[in-house]
Amino acid sequence: MEDKISEAIQTALESSPKRNFVESVDISFTIKDVDLKNPTNRIKEEIRLPSGRGKEIKVAMFAAGEAATKAKAAGIAVFSPQEIEEFGGKKGQAKKVANQFDFFLSEVPHMGLIGRYLGTVLGPRGKMPRPVPPTLDPAALATGLSNTVVIKSGDKMTFHASFGTVAQSHEELLANAMEVFTRVTGRLERGVGNIRSLFIKTSMGPAQRIEVIN
pLDDT number for residue 214:
57
Portion of the chain with pLDDT greater than 90, in percent: 78
User: What does the alpha-carbon distance between residue 196 and residue 33 come to, in Å, rounded to a whole number?
Assistant: 9
pLDDT number for residue 185:
95
pTM greater than the 0.75 cutoff = yes
Q: Residue 16: is its pLDDT beyond 90?
A: no
Neighbours of 85 (CB within 10 A): 13
Domains within the chain, CATH numbers bracketed? 2-54+148-210 (3.30.190.20), 59-145 (3.40.50.790)
Model pLDDT for residues 59-93, shown as the tens digit of each residue: 999 999 999 999 999 999 999 999 999 998 898 99
At 116, the amino acid letter reads R
Model pLDDT for residues 130-168, shown as the tens digit of each residue: 999 988 889 988 888 889 998 999 899 999 999 999 999
Portion of the chain with pLDDT greater than 70, in percent: 100
pLDDT number for residue 111:
95
- What's the mean pLDDT when you consider all of the chain? 93
Model pLDDT for residues 29-68, shown as the tens digit of each residue: 999 999 999 999 999 998 999 999 998 889 999 999 999 9
